Amino acid sequence: MQEASNTEYQPHAMGLDLEEVGLPEEDRIAVYTAIFAGYDDIPALENIDDRLDYFIFTDGDIDAPPPWQVRKLTPVFRDPQRDARRVKLLPHLFLPGKYTISVWIDSSLSIRNLTSEIVEQVLGDQDIAVTRHSQRNCIYAEAKAVLDVNYDSPGRVDRQMRQYANRGFPAAFGLHATMFLVRRHTKPNCIAYDLDWWSQLSRFSKRDQLSFDYVRWRNPGTSVRTLEMNHGNNQIFGFKMKDGREHKSSNRVTDEHLETALRSASGLAYDAADSYSDLYDSYSQPFLAHLRNINQIGGASDTAQLDSICYYAGQPDYLYSPPAPGKGKERELLLRAIAGRQRLFAMSLDGGYDPLLVLSETNLAVTSLDDGEAPQNETAAAYLRANFEDRFLYARLDAMTLLDIIDQISFDLYDAILVNAARRPELVIYDLVAAATHGAPGAVVVVTHLGNIAVKRAITHLASRGLIEERGDLSAGTAVAYTIRKRTEAAPNAAELLADINAIRRSLGTGF
């Protein structure tokens, strides 16, 4: 076993342009839009300001002219419009941390005259600036208009409006047209506003104008400036009609009723029947900044994405993506299982993602042991050590299993253990046996990416021998939590357990 990584953390020497974690001192402005499933063409830029940076988030191969910068994303939902809305409503998840002001422009618009000075004038000292709706001033009237043109499911829209009415939201409170939005999107109160807005949209209608003013009513501490201009035709922007239509495509998904559904995708483990929770997109700003940096480290290694708590194995287009919502249940289970614990022993590094989540979203100290097979792990470990100092330790196994060096580790000091079951089954089984036979009684063991039948049988055997017991309240499909039980004098040792488990594996056609 090698001690903590000696790899020197020199990002510029590694060819990496990593962002500083924390809010920048100066305002930087990003103009951005999103196009999924070819729903629209690229917004036209009639005037370009070199002091603005322009981004397009998309799931397709778009040949965008300068100054547009294309950021490819793996689609998340069955409904591509929801993917676009997710980018629209949650800019802090997608834009680099150096930008403190963002300008959302619907892809159905053309930008006529937008400069940094205009952005600053439009926003003033407010948190959000948005145009007043030119035709209506009430979301209840807007809901009727949405249903009249079949823009969303009647069940969703009706339930949403009844919910708002039951909570006392008044009629004629005002209505804004949200195709043009200027926000101080990194301010905590603005992030809270956007998350509340996204929570409404992820539960109810994808028509975000039906929830924006309800959220404004609920969040009086976030200042919203109403822009008195025609929301479809003004000096700053206007509709770029195509054959008399606002959008290039007329395809809309209107058949969702109870839940917002995650999509299935070729090569990815998304469950088409799984539902989404907005909790799976709620993370601290430091975690998101670190995540983008870890993504850069992984991307520079020119290897396929590892299976981790944040992304699927082989997931494309992860560089600019927040954590995959399809992995949200695993992340939630891990964070809930280790709540109140002090020290976590992670059986693998997994590109740095699993330790990063724990280090950023909890106060636990983390020790990570890794086989060193992934080329990015050494650099990722050096990054984590440089940023989390004494809270993170890393050691590398060289052609050994954890059981081979278990006596060199004060294993009973750890009250939480993390096992990534996506690795080779024999390594996972060795790790599980080590935890069950040497872990501290009462420690929690979280197993993620659980799918291999031999590993499942091994866990069942460890439970049947009275070494671990399942935390029934902490089970989520491919992740599960166990508690290490107090060992008796009659408890089997590691060699006995491995012999038993190997017999089970042989019955399945495999073995050590």
Instruction: Name the token pair of 123.
Output: 């926003």
Per-domain residue ranges of the chain: 29-239, 287-507
Count Cβ atoms within 10 A of the Cβ of residue 123 and give its class: 0-12 exposed, 13-18 middle, 19 or more buried.
Answer: buried
| CATH fold for domain 287-507 | Rossmann fold (3.40.50)
- Distance in angstroms (rounded) separating the CA atoms of residues 301 and 289: 19
Looking at residues 410-421, what average pLDDT do you find? 92
Give yes or no for a cis peptide into 67 (omega within 30° of 0): yes
Of 151, 149, 289, which Cα lies nearest the Cα of 208?
151
Q: Which residues make Cβ contacts (< 8 Å) with residue 259, sequence separation at least 6?
A: 275, 276
Q: Do 415 and 343 form a contact (C-beta atoms < 8 A)?
A: yes
- Residue 99 reports pLDDT greater than 90: yes
Grade residue 115 by pLDDT with cuts at 50, 70 and 90: very high
pLDDT for residue 315: 86
Instruction: Write the DSSP string, 284-350.
Output: -HHHHHHHHHHHHHHHHTT-PPP--SSS-TT-SS-TT----GGGHHHHHHHHHHTTT--EEEES--G
- Distance in angstroms (rounded) separating the CA atoms of residues 468 and 336: 19
pLDDT for residue 8: 55
pLDDT for residue 269: 43
Predicted model pTM: 0.89
pLDDT for residue 426: 87
pLDDT for residue 399: 59
pLDDT single digits (tens) 44-76: 899 899 999 999 999 988 889 999 999 999 888
300 or 30, which is more confident? 30
pLDDT for residue 496: 83
Q: How many CB atoms lie within 10 A of CB 411?
A: 18
Tokens 């823009």 locate to 151
pLDDT single digits (tens) 279-324: 999 999 999 999 999 999 988 877 777 788 999 888 888 889 999 9
Chain centre distance of CA 15: 25
Count Cα neighbours of 362 within 13 Å in the Cβ-side half-sphere. 24
Of 94, 83, 41, which Cα lies nearest the Cα of 65?
41
- Residue 256 reports pLDDT greater than 60: no
| CATH fold for domain 29-239 | Spore Coat Polysaccharide Biosynthesis Protein SpsA; Chain A (3.90.550)
